[in-house]
């Protein structure tokens, strides 16, 4: 997990989400206005008044975790549904090349890092929890 490619992918993904989170919370650079179906979707999310602050805070925290290299599997698990939504939205809602490229880059980085950290996700993908219960009982008995 400490290869140069893994570190580069982790830092790049962290920079993307940290940067967008910081920009979203502090409004450093204005977001371009949406058009068509994307504008309707975004305006609906803005109307909730809580969604974007929560989303940008999530970006900031997970981006920070990726940048400093702490809680990386947790950050990847939190970002996974966000990245799926980003990728699917840009596939079905008309988007510019830059947006599609960024969505593709983020998706590729997430999949690559999830593969690199697959050992951390192995317990989540077990069909039963028998092994976890046995391990928990064994830990509880030790003084």
pLDDT tens per residue across span 58-116: 999 999 999 999 999 999 999 999 999 999 988 888 778 888 999 999 999 999 999 99
User: Quick check: 136 pLDDT over 90?
Assistant: no
- What is the Cα–Cα distance from 25 to 55, expressed in whole angstroms? 9
d(CA 48, CA 29): 22
**pLDDT for the residue numbered 10:** 98
Per-domain residue ranges for the chain?
A: 4-141
pTM, full prediction: 0.84
Give the pLDDT score at 38.
78
Least confident of 1-10, 16-25, 50-59, 88-97: 88-97
Residue 131 has pLDDT above 90, yes or no: no
In this structure, are residues 74 and 19 in contact, taking their beta carbons and an 8 Å threshold?
Answer: no
Q: What is the mean pLDDT of residues 116-122?
A: 93
Share of the chain above pLDDT 70, in %: 89
pLDDT value of residue 132: 58
Long-range residue pairs from 123-131, CB within 8 A, at least 24 positions apart, any chain: 124/77
The pLDDT of residue 140 is above 70 = no
Q: Give the pLDDT of residue 33.
A: 76
């Amino acid at each position: 997990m400490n290869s140069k490619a893994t570190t580069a992918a982790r830092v790049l993904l962290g920079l993307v989400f940290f940067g967008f989170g910081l920009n979203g919370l502090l409004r450093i650079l204005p977001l371009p206005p949406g058009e068509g179906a994307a504008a309707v979707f975004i305006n609906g999310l803005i109307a909730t008044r809580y969604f974007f602050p929560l989303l940008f805070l999530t970006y900031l925290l997970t981006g920070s975790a990726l940048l400093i290299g702490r809680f990386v599997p947790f950050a990847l698990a939190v970002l996974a549904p966000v990245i799926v939504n980003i990728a699917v939205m840009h596939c079905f809602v008309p988007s510019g090349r830059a947006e599609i490229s960024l969505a593709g880059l983020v998706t590729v980085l997430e999949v690559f890092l999830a593969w690199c950290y697959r050992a951390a996700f192995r317990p989540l993908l077990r069909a039963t929890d028998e092994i976890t219960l046995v391990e928990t009982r064994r830990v509880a008995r030790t003084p």
